[in-house]
A and B are shown apart, each in its own frame.
Chain A
Amino acid sequence: MNPGREQTMTADGASRPDTTPPAIRLVGVSKHFGPVKANRSIDLSVRQGSIHGLLGENGAGKSTLMKVLFGMMRPDAGRIEIGGRPAAFRSSADALAAGIGMVQQHFSLIGKLTVAENLILGRATSGFVARWLRPLDLESARARAIELSERLGFGIDPSARCETLSVGARQKVEILKALWGGATTLVLDEPTAALSPPDAEELYALLQNLRREGTTIVLISHKMPEIMRLCDRVTVLRDGAVAGEAEIPRAFSDPAERQALEARLVRLMIGRHRPEVPSRSSHIWPTVLSVRQLSDGQRFGPIDLDVKGGEILAVVGVEGNGQSQFVELLIGLRKAAGGGIALDGRDITDMTTLKRFQSGIAHIPEDRHRLAVADGMSLVDNASIGFIDGAPFAPTSFWLSRHRRARFAAGIVRRHKVRASSVEAPVTSLSGGNQQKLVVGRELSRAPRLMIAAQPTRGLDIGSTGAVHEALIGLRDHGAAVLLLSLDLTEVFTIADRIVVFRQGRIVGETTAADADIDRIGRWMSGVDEEARQ
């Protein structure tokens, strides 16, 4: 289980003796949760002004380690040095005061407050007494937010309420929040998991800028391309311990060298090679989902769309162009104002959500925290969401079987390799990726005719991403239809058979994956063709 520490690839230190102390140094940090050893004696040293990648499988202990650094958790053993001086943050306020900013994996914004209010939350700018007497200076906060947001090219409206923002926009606000206090050290926990590629590009440029200005950055990510592109050095965690480290050259003399390094990192992370993706669909069955002139009476539609059995149809587009309205219409959370939806030839337009699930729809929601898991409940309870309206779990209205639900949850845990201390554990004790695996496993267990998978691999490690792709392809090969909504075009090209592009609530382009042209898709998404025609 525990591969020997591998030595760094390039000889660092030896050729360039470093006199400046590391920006962050963790020595022998351990953190246990009951029987779970989330961190086992981890040593980590981050050079001043560098971008340091932190890699590892879901549940490897990355977030835990960064929470320890940020003062949100106290380590069981080990110590922390910041800029060569020992530091023991008692709370994240201490860490903020020491110039460390952190973007959490889970959103920490308050929905009812505006962006500007969220940004200044907990950041007192005046003394204790003045703080109570002086009114909040929201005006200057707003001005500063606009300035910062513009500098980063984010385009966030500071007076918007956070609950009205899209997932991607909320992610940007989180990043603004971490940078707000002028952090000199920035920890980012999967910041691009919810960003579309262009937004991610903006973030990359920003991070490179910050590095140039001397900011030290720790970046947790499951996306190899961004790691290879941005990081100066990476540390790979496995089962809570350091599995290896590597220096990443700014430029590779030869692409083979880059591939070899990437392959090695993947092997360090998951203990095997990158999973192969199976071949394209071979057989097409009759239509499963058929949508006619569907609209919600507001900004969505009307659209026509057919998805056949044995087909993975990807819906792509810039975020906020009707994708989530489409999903809500399909599962019955939003009422159709016009048109109809048929599943396997049956009209489901006026069915309740429950009936739609019984007719064979499954749904992996984009926003896990809002729609997929209930934070206060246990893993078992979360696994049974949507399965309690009949046998086997509720054979009568007076009995909900505990035993069968526990077996079912254990089945999902085993099949989908969810890491959890027990099925009775609260779902919040699972790492982000493991919560996602639980949701994916639950939805796959519905034996769907139509799987609506919105960002199904968000936050998953490379191995689990491969497994989810495999499972979706397995569904397809057995005649089901898969509707894939993804911001990750690589994922779309890997598993989709057909691609449609949404823009402003309508379908503006369609192509088979085999002869998809990324530039053309990009033009559809941005609407330059339409504008040119006008």
Chain B
Amino acid sequence: MTMNSIVTPPQNRDVFTGRRQVRMDPAMLAETLGREADVAAAENPGFLPRLVGHFHALSGNLGGQVLTFTLTIAAALIASMPLIWIGGSDLWRAASALFGGALGSGPAIAETLVQMVPLLIAGLAVAVAFHASLFNIGVEGQLVFGGLVAGVAGASLDLPPALLMLVCIFAGMAGGAVFALIPALLKAYRGAHEVVTTIMMNFVAVAISEYAVSPTGPFVAADQPSATERVPDLARLPVIWEGTRLHAGLLVALAAVIVIMWVLYRTPAGFRLRLTGANQGAARASGVSIARVTILAMLASGALAGLAGAVQVLGVYGRFYAAFSPGYGFDAIAVALLGALSPVGVIASAFFFAVLHAGSVPLQAVAGISREMVGVVSGLVVAFVAAQPAALRLLSAMRRRFAGAMPPDGLAETEVSK
């Protein structure tokens, strides 16, 4: 160990940016910064490899994750087969109705993507909270309330269309965040468990939104019960695939994925959030304020949920309906878990659930299987995600049993840690 601990007075400003500088041993600082030329020459292998490298580092063990994802889905689908059979349909008809209905044609794919948008954004909302070890079950309520705020803003504000659209989106996010704020404060300062408080807030959100558009409610439309007035057409999210319902909300959702990925892995706030989720004690001992992280994570989660609601209102219906969410906020939990909480994984799992949703109508019409089957499958997915550790243990035990009979193959085997 070299002598590296020369004690100097604290340097408070960064030499390059003038910004606050963490206190750090000068020798280590020099090593960390290096000479930029050296960095460029020795460690900068070009843009593409770097991009791939970053992606790889973010996704960790990609092959393993893809495998787990596929196996989980397969297990859930297989487990639901007996139910289809009991329902009196045959598997082939059911499968072709489901997948044909969801992916069989251009318009079908577009409809699937429409279903994917709210699931994706709401799934991110759940995932962000999970990264801080917070279980936000209130995404449904935050989503509904965000949709209400966006719908009311869009119907009552008199602004230029483009501006109105932005205002509606931000109003929706703010609405979702407000609904997450109460559980956040209760958790941060009173230690009330967020599962309990967010569930209760769900009832509040649904009740408020139903009241708002009830016959005597303040925001009910003149021509339509249980809905607000229409948002001006030009202020709605534009359709991006002519002839279908697919709207720009898909782009908003993908942008949200990139932003969340950046925030989680490339900003100090995201680092604090992940650290708090991984080990609260270590976070506290290094000066992270747990209360602040808790509040910020819940606000971010709520804002994303509100965004999902706003996008649905502005993209699909053009107005707020009291029952516009068939439980996106609850499916989002399954989406986030199946996506292993990774923003990219959430894209894949949101797509899977969108296929189920979009395919459920033809499933009922063609194969005669109730739409509720979708709920069964998503419940099974959650069950199988929960069973993943046990399944992995079982797999490695089986591998051992088989390997016990054979000579060891010398392949490295990584243990499941913990």
Contact = CB atoms under 8 A, between A and B. Distances in A.
Interface stretch (A216-224, A375-383, A501-509): A375-383
B20 to A, nearest CB: 4
B14 A372 contact: no
Given A90-B397, A392-B29, A415-B1, A449 B7 contact: yes
A3 to B, nearest CB: 23
Nearest to B284: A333
Interface stretch (A188-196, A354-362, A524-532): A354-362
B5 A390 contact: no
Contacts of B409: 76
Contacts of A415: 1-2, 4
B16 interface: yes
B275 to A, nearest CB: 6
B86 interface: no
Given A359-B10, A402-B54, A449-B7, A390 B20 contact: yes
A210 B310 CA distance: 70
A72 B413 CA distance: 12
B282 A373 contact: yes
A400 B274 CA distance: 13
A444 B4 contact: yes
B403 A74 contact: yes
A62 to B, nearest CB: 16
Interface stretch (A166-174, A232-240, A467-475, A486-494): A467-475
Contacts of A91: 397
A73 interface: yes
A363 B284 CA distance: 12
Contacts of A417: 1
Contacts of B286: 353, 357, 385-386
B28 A377 contact: no
B99 to A, nearest CB: 36
B413 A76 contact: yes
Contacts of A404: 32-33
Nearest to B399: A74
B39 interface: yes
A299 B278 CA distance: 31
Contacts of B2: 415
Nearest to B2: A415
A101 B83 CA distance: 47
B34 interface: yes
A392 B32 contact: yes
A330 B345 CA distance: 43
A400 B43 CA distance: 18
B412 A397 contact: no
A166 to B, nearest CB: 15
A439 to B, nearest CB: 10
B279 interface: yes
Given A73-B415, A91-B397, A390-B22, A445 B16 contact: no
Interface string B5-42: 11110100010110111111110110111100001000
B282 A358 contact: no
B61 to A, nearest CB: 10
A389 B268 contact: yes
A75 interface: yes
A303 interface: no
Contact of B31 (A394, A396, A411): A411
Contacts of B222: none
B411 interface: yes
A503 to B, nearest CB: 26
A156 to B, nearest CB: 23
B397 A77 contact: no
A411 B28 contact: yes
Nearest to B18: A391
Contact of A400 (B1, B6, B28, B271): B271
Q: Contact residue range for chain A?
A: 35 or more
A446 interface: yes
Contacts of A474: 3-5
Contacts of A358: 10, 22-23
A261 interface: no
B85 to A, nearest CB: 31
B10 A360 contact: yes
A505 B68 CA distance: 52
A387 B412 contact: no
A33 B274 contact: no
Contacts of B25: 444-447
Among A359, A411, A428, A475, chain B packs the most CB atoms within 10 A around the CB of A411
Interface in B279-303: 279, 281-289
A373 B400 CA distance: 31
B16 A90 contact: no
Interface in A270-327: none
A445 B30 CA distance: 12
B410 to A, nearest CB: 5
Among B20, B31, B397, chain A packs the most CB atoms within 10 A around the CB of B31
A90 B401 contact: yes
Contacts of A475: 5, 7
B404 A88 contact: yes
A40 to B, nearest CB: 12
Contacts of B278: 374-377
Contact of B19 (A77, A395, A408): A395
Contact of A394 (B39, B267, B282): B267
B183 to A, nearest CB: 23
B24 A428 contact: no
Given A375-B279, A377-B278, A402-B57, A354 B287 contact: yes
Nearest to B262: A398
A356 B23 CA distance: 11
Contacts of B5: 444, 447-448, 471, 474-475, 478, 480
Given A357-B23, A357-B286, A400-B270, A391 B412 contact: no
Contacts of A373: 279, 282
Contacts of B271: 381, 384, 388, 400
14 contacts: A73-B413, A331-B285, A357-B287, A367-B281, A372-B285, A385-B282, A391-B20, A392-B32, A394-B267, A394-B268, A408-B31, A448-B7, A449-B7, A480-B7
Interface of B: 1-8, 10, 14, 16-17, 19-26, 28-29, 31-34, 39, 43, 54, 57, 265-272, 274-275, 277-279, 281-289, 397, 400-401, 403-404, 408-415, 417-418
Given A90-B400, A393-B268, A445-B25, 12 more contacts: A76-B413, A90-B401, A353-B287, A354-B288, A360-B10, A374-B279, A377-B275, A385-B282, A400-B271, A428-B418, A429-B417, A447-B24
Q: Which 4 A-B pairs have the closest CB atoms?
A: A354-B287, A391-B14, A467-B1, A374-B278
